[in-house]
Amino acid sequence: MDEVLRFLSLADANVRFVLAGSILLGSASGVVGVFTLLRRRSLLGDALAHAALPGVALGFMLTLSKSIVPLLIGASAAGILGVLAITAMVKTGRIREDAAIGITLSVFFGIGIVLLTFIQRLPSGNQSGLDKFLFGQAAAMLPQDVQLMSIVSVVTLITITLLYKEFRLLVFDANYLAAQGFPVTLLDILLMFLVVLVVMIGLQAVGVVLMAALLITPAAGARFWSDDLKIMLLLAALFGAVSGVLGVFFSSLAPRIPTGPVMVLAATLLFALSAVFAPRRGLLARRMRQIQTGRRTAQEHLLRASLEWMELNPGAVRIPLDALAGPLGVPLSAVERTAAALSKKGDIHFTNRNAQLTAAGKDKALAILKSHRLWEYYLLHRMALKQDHVHRDADQIEHILSPDVIERLEKLLQEDGVDVENITSVHPVAG
């Protein structure tokens, strides 16, 4: 509890620095990650993070200093070189973008590991601390590191704000953007350069290995909640910032737990919650829609089956439910449950395993039967399918045909000489 209170009070200067840096990093990563995700370049951040490793090593070898500025300048230069390498390979037309990203990732990372091994053999190599860039060490951030993160984050967010319309067209319709005279390749390189900047400021906190997760996971979580790009950007920034706060909080409770991996785990938790509970795309919402669709389909099948049974028995008033279980292909208990649900809606009267359509139920059943038969005739006359192939298709499609589609079907069949009124009429139903 003392550690929790100390964190909440922000009395520790180191906690303030790490917290500010992690929030800025998470927000910037989330915003840039949205564009890389929508651009279908999720591996780009991973490639550039790995490409930055040899730059860090070269920065140390040239200065023999662990000062963050030369190391990050080297990381940025290597990242830019990685961007140019990916672009050049794609421009050849013989290598796909995902292959170019994979090649860049592996080659640059291999060079970085070789350079780190060489550095370890230097007299001061064991004290270089460059291995921290592999997995990150947010606790080692200093005030000047946070200042650098702030500057890069602000520059990144301002750039995205100023070029929001262009970046939006780039990720959704690059061909239209080119047709309007905008330099698509230059904008694409600029977007990748922003990824480089975010990766650069994230190396010390999260490291080479996990930086890609911090770029993509908040953006992927935000994607579940909205189709609006602005809302996605805000949510991704929020998820990234919350991940930063949670990462610093839990690592402060147990100092030996690194902040970067905890940030990634927190972002993954937010992604998992979004995947389950998002109102439209979440697994729970999708499952509920599937259940509701199944219930609605069963009810419409029962209404149509009831009307068809009364066509065959024109003098009958009540419909025995056991006579419908066979044609519907479901147990009698399922028919009874569906009939009970329709009774609550006022579509049938349901007593003693017998049903009687109400006026509202007859209207609904007629509309369903009309959709079913129109689609059957369309498949027979327009698609030239065999009789035994159309019933199941009509069974599936009848539930989603809108009134305007039904009207178009009627016109098409009338053009073919089909008596639409006759195929959709039913015998008078006793009421």
* CA nearest neighbour of 251 among 148, 143, 140: 140
Domain boundary among 277, 301, 326: 277
Whether 126 and 181 share a structural domain? yes
Total tally of structural domains belonging to the chain: 2
Q: What is the pTM of this model?
A: 0.75
Whether 296 and 186 share a structural domain? no
**Residue 2: per-residue pLDDT:** 64
What the block records as the tokens of 124 is 């001061």
Domain boundary among 277, 297, 313: 277
Whether 184 and 296 share a structural domain? no
The verdict on residue 420 lying in a domain is yes
CATH number for the domain spanning 170: value is 1.10.3470.10
CATH number for the domain spanning 400: value is 1.10.10.10
Overall size of the chain counted in residues:
431
**Residue 428: per-residue pLDDT:** 40
| 136 Rama class: left (phi>0) / alpha (psi -120 to 50) / beta | left
The verdict on residue 375 lying in a domain is yes
Q: Do 195 and 44 touch, CB atoms closer than 8 A?
A: yes
Whether 273 and 303 share a structural domain? no
Whether 388 and 263 share a structural domain? no
Low-confidence ranges of the chain (pLDDT < 50): 127, 427-431
**Residue 18: per-residue pLDDT:** 77
**Residue 387: per-residue pLDDT:** 57
39 CB-near residues (< 8 Å, 6+ apart): 170, 171, 191
Whether 345 and 231 share a structural domain? no
Whether 356 and 236 share a structural domain? no
Whether 105 and 157 share a structural domain? yes
The verdict on residue 176 lying in a domain is yes
Whether 60 and 119 share a structural domain? yes
**Residue 139: per-residue pLDDT:** 60
* CA nearest neighbour of 212 among 55, 20, 33, 78: 33
The verdict on residue 112 lying in a domain is yes
Question: Rounded CA gap, 57 and 319, in Å?
Answer: 82
Question: Rounded CA gap, 371 and 399, in Å?
Answer: 8
Task: Annotate 334-385 with DSSP letters as a single string.
Answer: HHHHHHHHHHHHTSEEEETTEEEE-HHHHHHHHHHHHHHHHHHHHHHHTS--
**Residue 430: per-residue pLDDT:** 36
**Residue 393: per-residue pLDDT:** 59
Q: By residue range, what is the domain housing residue 94?
A: 2-277
**Residue 135: per-residue pLDDT:** 63
Q: Model confidence over 26-40: pLDDT tens digits?
A: 888 889 989 988 888
Domain boundary among 252, 277, 302: 277
**CB-count burial class (<10 Å; 0-12, 13-18, 19+) for 182:** middle
